[in-house]
């Protein structure tokens, strides 16, 4: 067992609390959004497609996005404080965290834009499905899996 | 990965599931307060099954893997103050959480009944159920307890 995993400096506690809280809100927002979007994918009526599309978009915008900012900001706070932003060879778990954090953030942003545009097009056209919302659903699912991998890397800290 | 690494990962993963369920239910409870039409309420509560599953897995998993971790790690004992505090907070969370379901699931069932009866229009009884102040207060209490649990887990007072 890694002793470091049990004993860490007290100065990490507050930024770590914000980092974990942000990550939890992010994952909760992604799960809420992808649930609504998947259910909407299967439904055929225009009212359901619009309703679930709107639910998914709002979960991404009001939960996942603020969660991402909190997670990323607090993560960087710890990294700067501990000098991890300036190491020659970063540990694997940190690399996984950075890659999923940055790439996942970009995919999250794209999925929010697509979900918003999809909802707007459904509202105008009255159609029963939107390709943009479906692409957003796939992206959100990919981001969710990436963050689950990041969560494993951050908690288990593989070499 | 050692047994400790796996236990820590599973403990954190189930904590994420629990908070994700809270995010989803927060979204449903706050969103439900602005809905009037029964079919909109039924639609929104369709994703509550995901929240139920996450809450079940999260609340049981976080306790089981947490206790297992406390037994596994030499530095911790089950009778440490912060671990006893966590168990008390968990019990409070469960007790209040079960009351929330008794407030909002009848609202979902009432909305379903209204839709089945063909009365898909604003209903004062349904609106009152969705805007329950008691339900909202209980939900805020569970969010506060979850936050206290997270603070307790990170700061480990007395450890």
Domain chopping of chain A, boundaries: 11-156
Give rounded-to-5 percent helix, strand, coil for chain B. Answer: 80, 0, 20
pLDDT score at A4: 43
* Contact between B17 and B61 (Cβ < 8 Å): yes
pLDDT digit string, tens, across residues A82-132? 777 777 777 888 888 889 999 999 999 999 999 999 999 999 988 888 899
Q: Residue B104: how many CA atoms within 13 Å on its side-chain side?
A: 31
Cα–Cα–Cα angle for B45, A39, B93, rounded to 5 degrees? 40
A106 in contact with chain B, both atoms CB, cutoff 8 A = no
Q: Which residues, at least 6 apart from A89, have a Cβ–Cβ distance to it below 8 Å? A: none
**Confidence (pLDDT) at A2:** 40
Contact (CB, 8 A) for A101 and A150: yes
Which residues does B134 contact at the CB level (< 8 Å), separation at least 6?
Answer: B103
The pLDDT assigned to A86 comes to 74
Taking contacts as CB-CB distances below 8 angstroms, the residues of chain A near B44 are: 51, 55
**Contact between chains at A39 and B46 (C-beta distance less than 8 A):** yes
**Taking 70 as the threshold, does the pLDDT of residue A38 lie above it?**
yes
Interface test with B, best of A8, A28, A40, A78 (most B CBs within 10 A): A28
Q: How many CB pairs (< 8 A) connect A and B?
A: 97
pLDDT of residue A43: 67
pTM of the model: 0.91
CB atoms within 10 A of CB A81: 13
Instruction: Compute the Cα dihedral for B101, B107, B110, B111 and give only its sign.
Output: negative
Question: Is B54 close to A31, i.e. CB distance below 8 A?
Answer: yes
Does B40 contact chain A (CB < 8 Å)? yes
What does the pLDDT average to over B78-96? 95
Contact B4 A5 (CB under 8 A): yes
pLDDT of residue A8: 65
pLDDT, residue A3, reads: 42
Distance CA B91, CA B15 (A): 15
Burial of residue A10, with CB atoms counted within 10 A of its CB: 0-12 exposed, 13-18 middle, 19 or more buried: exposed
Question: Chain B residue with minimal CA distance to A157?
Answer: B5
Distance CA B1, CA A158 (A): 7
Q: What is the DSSP letter of B122?
A: -
Chain B residues closer than 8 Å to A51 by CB? 40, 43-44
Residue A90: how many CA atoms within 13 Å on its side-chain side?
15
pLDDT of residue B159 exceeding 60: yes
pLDDT digits (tens, 9 = 90+) for B135-148: 999 999 999 999 99
Tell whether B127 is within 8 A of chain A (Cβ): no
Determine the average pLDDT of the residues in B63-81: 92
Q: What is the mean pLDDT of residues B58-83?
A: 93
Residue A155 has pLDDT above 90, yes or no: no
More confident residue, A153 or A4: A153
For the packed helices B3-32 and A46-59, what is the interaxial angle rounded to 10 degrees?
120
Tokens read off for A2: 């890694």
DSSP B108-152: HHHHHHHHHTT--S--HHHHHHHT-HHHHHHHHHHHHHHHHHHHH
Whole-angstrom distance, CA of residue B148 vs CA of residue B154 = 10
Task: Give the structural domain span for B138.
Answer: 3-155
- Residue A1: predicted pLDDT: 39
Closest residue of chain B to A159, computed from CA coordinates: B1
> What is the pLDDT, as a whole number, of residue A147?
94
pLDDT at A156 (0 to 100): 77
- Please choose, from the candidates B73, B153, B80, B71, the residue with its C-alpha nearest in 3D space to the C-alpha of residue A3: B73
pLDDT for the residue numbered A9: 66
- A25-30 average pLDDT score: 97
| Mutate which: A8, A16, A32, vs B, most B CBs within 10 A | A32
Contact residues, chain B, for A158 at CB < 8 Å: 1
Q: Is residue A44 less than 8 Å (CB to CB) from chain B?
A: no
Mean pLDDT of chain B: 93
Chain A residues whose beta carbon lies within 8 Å of the beta carbon of residue B21: 28
Cα distances from B67 to residues A115, A120, B10, B61, in angstroms, run 41, 48, 12, 10
- Mean pLDDT across chain A, nearest whole number? 88
- The domain total for chain B is 1
Say what the pLDDT of residue A5 is. 45
**Residues A78 and A19 sit within 8 Å (Cβ to Cβ):** yes
Could you read off the pLDDT of B1-32 as tens digits, one per residue?
Answer: 789 989 999 999 999 999 999 999 999 999 98
């Amino acid at each position: 067992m890694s002793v470091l995993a049990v004993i860490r400096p007290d100065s990490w506690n507050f930024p770590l609390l914000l980092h974990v809280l942000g990550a939890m809100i992010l994952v909760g927002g992604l799960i809420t959004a992808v649930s609504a979007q998947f259910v909407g994918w299967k439904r055929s009526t225009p009212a359901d497609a619009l309703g679930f599309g709107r639910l998914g978009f709002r979960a991404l915008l009001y939960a996942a996005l603020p969660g991402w900012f909190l997670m990323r900001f607090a993560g960087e706070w710890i990294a700067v404080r501990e000098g991890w932003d300036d190491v020659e060879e970063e540990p694997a778990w940190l690399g996984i965290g950075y890659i999923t954090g940055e790439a996942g953030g970009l995919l999250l942003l794209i999925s929010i834009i697509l979900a918003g545009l999809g909802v707007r097009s459904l509202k105008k056209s009255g159609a029963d499905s939107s390709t943009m919302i479906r692409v957003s659903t796939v992206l959100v699912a990919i981001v969710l899996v990436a963050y689950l991998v990041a969560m494993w890397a951050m908690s288990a800290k593989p070499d | 990965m050692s047994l400790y690494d796996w236990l820590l990962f599973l403990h954190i993963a189930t904590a994420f599931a629990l908070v994700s369920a809270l995010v989803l239910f927060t979204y449903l409870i706050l969103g439900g307060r602005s809905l009037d039409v029964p079919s909109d309420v039924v639609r929104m509560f369709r994703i509550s099954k995901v929240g139920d599953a996450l809450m079940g897995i999260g609340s049981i998993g976080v306790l089981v893997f947490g206790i297992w971790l406390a037994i596994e790690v030499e530095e911790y004992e089950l009778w440490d103050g912060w671990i006893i505090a966590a168990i008390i907070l968990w019990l409070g969370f469960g007790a209040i959480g079960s009351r929330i379901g008794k407030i909002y699931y009848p609202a979902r069932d009432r909305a379903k009944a209204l839709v089945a009866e063909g009365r898909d229009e604003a209903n004062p009884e349904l609106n009152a159920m969705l805007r329950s102040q008691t339900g909202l207060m209980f939900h805020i209490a569970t969010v506060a307890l979850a936050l206290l649990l997270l603070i307790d887990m990170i700061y480990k007072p007395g450890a």
